[in-house]
């Protein structure tokens, strides 16, 4: 396609809205709009505004691949860029630290955008699963640290492996004031809740093949046992 009819589309994608800017081959803005982000409005934008020869740029975010999947069949190219690298390039080339839809369109036009590797569907699902898993482990650890804090504030020396079954019995019976007992029981209950949610996600076999089943994305009894996180697999209690 000739430069005369080539258009470059920058999409500033947020959680609920999209800012769109289209420039031509000379860098002149030919269209700007803002619309709510959902599948219906995105498909409407792709159908009514975009053209088959357009190139589209957006930054890597939580929902960027879903957006790219909707747009890719309707345009010539979709580029998903690295946000940190894009900001650095924008500061160097455009003299701004704000990467909006216009800046994305101009960087795409000049072929300055640092494109990221597009993961396949199985990898995306695995990323979502492991991200949620990591969050649950972090939340459980936070609850356990709070229990340690309650004990430390009262100068109570806790066993080193506090959450082993034998020491959980100690935790249930240790002499402590009413507020301390209430806090410990609450934090321990939340820790158990996060652990149950963590196990319910299912594990995945490290080094398994590329399809979703091998990654443990279909829960099974074996997958529940094969959680690769050492801290969880060694643990004897919650």
pLDDT (tens digit per residue) in 31-85: 999 999 999 999 999 999 999 999 999 999 989 999 999 999 999 999 999 999 9
Q: How many CB atoms lie within 10 A of CB 24?
A: 17
Coil, helix or strand at residue 4: helix
Token digits for 46? 């792709």
- What is the rounded CA–CA span in Å between residue 129 and residue 124? 9
- What is the rounded CA–CA span in Å between residue 135 and residue 58? 26
Reduce the secondary structure of 5-52 to three states and give it as a string.
HCEEEEEEECCCEEEEEEEECCCCEEEEEEEECCHHHHHHHHHHCCCC
> Which stretch of 95-104, 189-198, 202-211 has the lowest confidence by average pLDDT?
202-211
Share of residues in the chain with pLDDT > 70 (%) = 81
Maximum mean pLDDT: which of 25-29, 85-89, 93-97? 25-29
Is residue 24 over pLDDT 70? yes
Token digits for 91? 């500061």
Q: Which pLDDT does position 221 carry in this prediction?
A: 34
The structure's pTM equals 0.67
Token digits for 128? 């979502």
Q: Which CATH code is given to the segment(s) 3-109?
A: 3.30.420.40
Residue in this structure with the two tokens 């430390």, named with its chain if needed: 152
Band of pLDDT at residue 95, cut at 50, 70 and 90: low
Q: Can you tell me the mean pLDDT for 156-177?
A: 92
25 versus 234: the higher-pLDDT residue is 25
Is residue 207 over pLDDT 90? no
Q: Can you tell me the mean pLDDT for 205-231?
A: 36
Band of pLDDT at residue 231, cut at 50, 70 and 90: very low
> Phi/psi at 87 (nearest 5 deg)?
-65, -40
How buried is residue 71: exposed, middle or buried, by Cβ count under 10 Å (0-12/13-18/19+)?
buried
| In the chain, domain spans | 3-109, 121-234
Query: Is the separation of the CB atoms in 60 and 116 below 8 Å?
Result: yes
Q: Which pLDDT does position 201 carry in this prediction?
A: 75
Q: Which pLDDT does position 29 carry in this prediction?
A: 95
Continuous H helices in the chain: 39-48, 64-71, 83-93, 101-109, 121-153, 165-173, 178-200, 221-225, 230-234
């Amino acid at each position: 396609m000739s430069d005369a009819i080539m258009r470059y589309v920058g999409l500033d994608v947020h959680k609920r809205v999209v800012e769109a800017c289209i420039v031509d081959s000379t860098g002149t803005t030919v269209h700007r709009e803002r619309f709510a982000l959902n599948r219906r409005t995105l498909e409407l934008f792709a159908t009514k505004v975009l053209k088959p020869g357009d190139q589209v740029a957006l930054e890597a975010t939580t929902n960027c691949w879903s957006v790219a999947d909707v747009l890719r069949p309707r345009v010539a190219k979709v580029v998903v860029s690295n946000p940190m690298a894009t900001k650095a390039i924008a500061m160097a080339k455009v003299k701004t630290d704000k990467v909006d839809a216009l800046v994305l369109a101009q960087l795409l036009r000049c072929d300055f955008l640092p494109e990221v590797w597009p993961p396949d569907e199985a990898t995306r699902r695995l990323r979502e699963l492991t991200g949620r898993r990591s969050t649950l482990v972090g939340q459980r650890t936070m609850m356990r640290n709070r229990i340690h804090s309650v004990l430390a504030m009262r100068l109570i020396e806790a066993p080193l492996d506090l959450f082993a079954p034998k020491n959980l019995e100690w935790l249930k019976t240790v002499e402590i004031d009413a507020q301390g007992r209430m806090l410990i029981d609450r934090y321990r209950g939340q820790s158990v809740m996060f652990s149950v949610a963590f196990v319910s996600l299912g594990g995945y076999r490290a080094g398994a093949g590329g399809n979703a089943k091998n990654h443990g994305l279909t829960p099974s009894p074996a997958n529940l046992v094969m959680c690769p996180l050492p801290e969880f697999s060694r643990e004897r209690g919650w």
